[in-house]
Amino acid sequence: MSEKLIGSCIFGQSGGPTAVINASAYGVIRAALDAEEITKVYGAAHGIKGVLDDKLYVMDEEDPAELELLLHTPSSELGSCRYKIADPEVDDTDYKRILEIFKKYNVRYFFYNGGNDSMDTCNKVSRYMESVGYECRVMGVPKTIDNDLYGTDHCPGFASAAKYIATSCMEINKDARVYDNGMITIVEIMGRHAGWLAASAALAAEFGSGPDLIYLPECDFDLDKFFADVERIYAQKGKVLVAVSEGIHYADGRFVSEAKTSATDGFGHAQLGGLAALLAEMVKERTGAKVRGIELSLLQRCGAHLASATDVNEAFTAGKTAVEAAVSGVTGKMVAFKRVYVDGKYTCEIELLPLSSVANFEKKVPLEWINEEQNGLKHEFIDYVLPLIQGEPKLPLEHSLPRYARLKKVLAK
Amino acid sequence: MSEKLIGSCIFGQSGGPTAVINASAYGVIRAALDAEEITKVYGAAHGIKGVLDDKLYVMDEEDPAELELLLHTPSSELGSCRYKIADPEVDDTDYKRILEIFKKYNVRYFFYNGGNDSMDTCNKVSRYMESVGYECRVMGVPKTIDNDLYGTDHCPGFASAAKYIATSCMEINKDARVYDNGMITIVEIMGRHAGWLAASAALAAEFGSGPDLIYLPECDFDLDKFFADVERIYAQKGKVLVAVSEGIHYADGRFVSEAKTSATDGFGHAQLGGLAALLAEMVKERTGAKVRGIELSLLQRCGAHLASATDVNEAFTAGKTAVEAAVSGVTGKMVAFKRVYVDGKYTCEIELLPLSSVANFEKKVPLEWINEEQNGLKHEFIDYVLPLIQGEPKLPLEHSLPRYARLKKVLAK
């Protein structure tokens, strides 16, 4: 047991929002408010930018009941950012400013909730504070619908998005088959380099109403093969449902959607989108069939009403564990999940991994889980994802519509 | 009380599917199976086309438990059509064929579930059978997410779509506001000539997380006014959420989306879509802001997982009532809803309206419920729609995913 470290904490949210990132926020905030070592709990407005801008909300001022509603409030309630922090060896301006803020508020605990890039930020802050001898325990809380974080069996946020995608594909599949004329439907699903989300559409097929074909960015996309797949099923059944990951790319690396857009986000990633419409146009031209493109867009990552209770609980636990570990002396780690089957039943164990071992690595769908035709998933993937989507959280409703947390967001002076 | 009419019945589904059209199907089928006057219950494959093609499923052969799952199965389980039947005075070929099938199966009851065009079909069949002296009781069961059927306070299917739209807009609004840079989001909602669905996005705003601006096809769309609205709110808040009906049109009648497509559906309506992307492009060019277009597409009409229990119950009752009324001697009527407030509490009473009085008329959002700026709804609309979306049905799940009805669909010989 380390020495007691007394001081305040800052919690920040980063990267794209999810249905359960606020459940992790609640895990951190609740545990921090309850920890006697932590004197004050600050929430950074828009992640690390809120630290740099000295824009911190005092969580101690919030109504506990409203805080608890964070468990079922989608998106990043404190605001997020896609700010890429420099390497401290190259430019330490930001780090000096962070140190200044940490000193101003006597911050001894820093919790950061995000994906790959955010764990990198977290790792850099941790290393810098150590290098200048400022004692501050830094913990990463994983989050990403993309499920591409290295070292953890899965990520909070992924399962709820997977459940949204599977349920929506089941519904779309029902709808897209009602007429007696032919119909080809192409559903575009998020996922830049890892196909976990598009793969989740296989759950819909597994339970009787899902896609005929699924294409992931783990394999090179072959347009002729794609046309042949679609035409074969269209000839057999007259109806085709296709799920594609936004990140599918040709063998030379070009994104299939690339022709449509050239904008990039703050991290220099290409901004994808419009792929379903593009493919629909190409298939229509080729087959003459009626074709519809559907983009699940933001809906898939903010669909808290279809969240997995397993995911909500694990997200909360991840946040809570980060605080408990830090208070007990741990620093420079990310909370990770390890899957254990007890009597054949899925359980989730917590591990703490060095931030340096997870930052900037990407975990993809194993190629051996993808079928030989590279247009569908094997049962190994279903076995992997099915336990994660289980359970329906009891959503707080008001007039049969979601009742989200309403925070006061009192700024620290 | 009329004389008992003994014979079989045919039930058909027509037009675009909804989240609850199968609940009406279950109302009809269950009541018909229970009625001693009805000797056999046939479900037409793809509506009136199934009758013309002699493709009828024997509902008596189905497992009762599977039939009951129709209450929560989205889309048209028997298949739908958009077949426009000729006027019998102009061309009676189809009617002769229908009569032939009716005689073959001794059909004395015909129940047809659909929107405006389907009530027209229903009315024509009813008139023809009367004109040739073939005794057959014909009843229309209303259905349309568009809520544009004349003579009824509201339509089965509308409320569940409205609830899906309101919930999704609440979630999108949360997601679209997380970053500290500007963002304009445009959500495209179904509704060709009537704006009931896009108007339902106002529910999201009413409960704290919804669109800033809503445009309906009831008012002429003025592009300059639209730009000014968006720019004003963008300047104030840095974030704008806009909901638009797919059917918005300029003063000269041209659909705003028209430039994008020229295809038409089976009834000669223009096929709309891609409006959100088009407007997003225009707003982006104009403002230079980050703009995202989202089309709710098929999701809004097949989202059974977000159905309104009120809607499910009313849809079931509409089907059941059609059968009970027909058995008791009624014909040539559509089941309609009348809203009654008992001690301030919403209740839904059933009326039977002559098919001729509802066929081919369209009911639009009253102009006095739209604000003066024509970019939002007044409270009268909220008062109208709120009771309709109440209640969450208990959805049958399997592995935390929807468990839909699995019918055998045994063809009649």
Question: Which alpha helices (H) appear in B35-184, and where do they start and end?
Answer: 48-52, 64-68, 93-104, 116-131, 158-175
What residue spans of B150-215 are helical by DSSP H?
158-175, 196-199, 202-206
Contact A180 B46 (CB under 8 A): yes
* Cα B321 from chain centroid (whole Å): 19
Chain segment A213-264, per-residue pLDDT in tens:
999 999 999 999 999 999 999 999 999 999 999 999 999 999 998 754 444 4
Share of chain A above pLDDT 90, in %: 88
pLDDT tens digit string along A17-45?
A: 999 999 999 999 999 999 999 999 999 99
Q: Do A75 and B400 touch (CB under 8 A)?
A: no
Distance from CA of B259 to the nearest CA of A (A): 16
What is the end-to-end Cα distance of chain A in Å, rounded? 34
pLDDT above 80 (res A267): no
Q: What is the pLDDT of residue A268?
A: 45
pLDDT of residue A358: 84
pLDDT at A82: 85
φ/ψ of residue B174, rounded to 5: -65, -50
Tokens of B184: 């304009």
Sequential DSSP letters for A180-220: SS-EEEEEEE--SS--HHHHTHHHHHHTTS--SEEE-TTS-
CA distances from B293 to A53, A296, B203, B243, B299 (A): 31, 11, 20, 10, 15
pLDDT at A94 over 80: yes
Cβ atoms of B390 and B309 within 8 Å: the answer is: yes
Residue B383's SS3 state is helix
What is the percentage of chain A residues whose pLDDT exceeds 70?
96
Q: Which residues of A are catalytic?
A: 146
Residue B25 burial class via C-beta count within 10 angstroms: exposed 0-12, middle 13-18, buried 19 and up:
buried
Instruction: Convert the pLDDT of each residue in B375-391 to its tens digit.
Output: 999 999 999 999 999 99
Quick one: pLDDT at residue A259? 58
Q: Which residues of B touch A392 (CB under 8 A)?
A: 397, 400
Test A171 with B386 for CB contact under 8 angstroms.
Answer: no
Instruction: Look at B166 and A73 and tell me if their CB atoms are within 8 Å.
Output: no
In chain B, which residue's Cα lies nearest the Cα of A277? B274
Residue with tokens 């949210």: A13
Q: What is the mean pLDDT of residues A79-91?
A: 91
Residues belonging to chain B: 413
Catalytic residue chosen out of the listed positions B117, B120, B146, B148: B146
- Cross-chain Cβ contact A171/B402 below 8 Å: yes
Q: B213, B395, B211: which is closest to B303 by C-alpha? A: B395
* Residue B278 pLDDT exceeds 60: yes
Helix (H) or strand (E) holding A333: strand A333-342
List chain A residues with CB under 8 Å of B185: 298
Q: Give the HSE-up count for residue B90: Cα atoms under 13 Å, Cβ half-sphere.
A: 4
Q: Which two tokens stand for residue B27?
A: 């109302």
Residue B82 has pLDDT above 90, yes or no: no
The answer to whether the CB of B132 falls within 8 A of the CB of B99 is: yes
**For B406, nearest residue in chain A (alpha carbons):** A208
- Among A171, A303, A386, whose Cβ lies nearest the Cβ of B304? A171
CB spacing of B292 vs A298 below 8 angstroms: yes
Sign for the pseudo-dihedral over CA of A323, A328, A333, A335? negative
Name which of A207, A294, A302 is nearest B398 (Cβ-Cβ): A207
- Read off the pLDDT of residues B170-225 as tens digits, 9 standing for 90 and up: 999 999 999 999 999 999 999 989 999 999 999 999 998 999 999 999 999 999 99
Of A49, A399, A403, the CB nearest to B180: A49
Percentage of residues in chain B having pLDDT higher than 70: 96
Mean pLDDT of chain B: 94
Instruction: Give the mean model confidence (pLDDT) for residues B245-271.
Output: 71
Q: Which residues of B106-119 are buried (b: 16+ CB within 10 A; e: fewer)?
A: ebbbbbbbbbbbbb
CA distance A402 to chain B (A): 7
Enumerate the residues of chain B whose CB falls inside 8 A of the CB of residue A276. Answer: none
pTM confidence score: 0.96
Site of tokens 């959805």: B395
User: Which residue in B has a C-alpha nearest to residue A390's C-alpha?
Assistant: B400
**What are the tens digits of pLDDT across the range A368-403?**
999 999 999 999 999 999 999 999 999 999 999 999
Which chain A residue shows the shortest CA-CA distance from B81? A179
Cα B83 from Cα B85, distance rounded (Å): 6
Chains A, B: CB contacts within 8 A come to 173
How does pLDDT run across B118-165, given as a tens digit for each residue? Answer: 999 999 999 999 999 999 999 999 999 999 998 999 999 999 999 999
Q: Answer yes or no: do A203 and B401 touch at CB < 8 A.
A: yes
> What is the phi-psi region of residue B159: left when phi exceeds 0, alpha when psi lies from -120 to 50, beta otherwise?
alpha
Q: Select from B80, B174, B178 the Cβ nearest to the Cβ of A178.
A: B80
- Nearest CB neighbour to B75, from listed A167, A175, A398: A175
pLDDT tens for A335-354 read 999 999 999 999 999 999 99
Contact in structure between B23 and B156 (CB atoms under 8 Å): yes
Query: Which tokens in the block code for residue A153?
Result: 């069996």
**pLDDT at res. B259:** 58
Q: What is the pLDDT of residue A261?
A: 43
> What is the arithmetic mean of pLDDT over A260-276?
53
Q: Please compute the mean of the pLDDT values over residues A187-204 and round it to a whole number.
A: 97
pLDDT at B261 over 60: no
Q: Which residues of B touch A49 (CB under 8 A)?
A: 180
Measure CA A203 to chain center: 19
Q: What is the pLDDT, as a whole number, of residue B93? A: 96
Taking the C-alpha atoms of residue B60 and residue B51, their distance in angstroms, rounded to an integer, is 18
State both tokens at A190: 């998020």
Interface contact A75-B174, CB threshold 8 A: yes
3-state class percentages of chain A: helix first, strand second, coil last, to nearest 5:
40, 20, 40
Cα A19 to Cα A161: distance, rounded to the nearest angstrom: 7
> Is the per-residue pLDDT at A304 higher than 90?
yes
Chain B residues closer than 8 Å to A397 by CB? 392
**In 3D, which of B256, B262, B261, B263 has the Cα closest to residue B282?**
B256
The owner of tokens 């001729």 is B356
Name the closest residue on chain A to residue B402, using Cα atoms.
A167
pLDDT number for residue A265? 45
Residue-level pLDDT at B360: 72
Average pLDDT over residues A168-195: 95
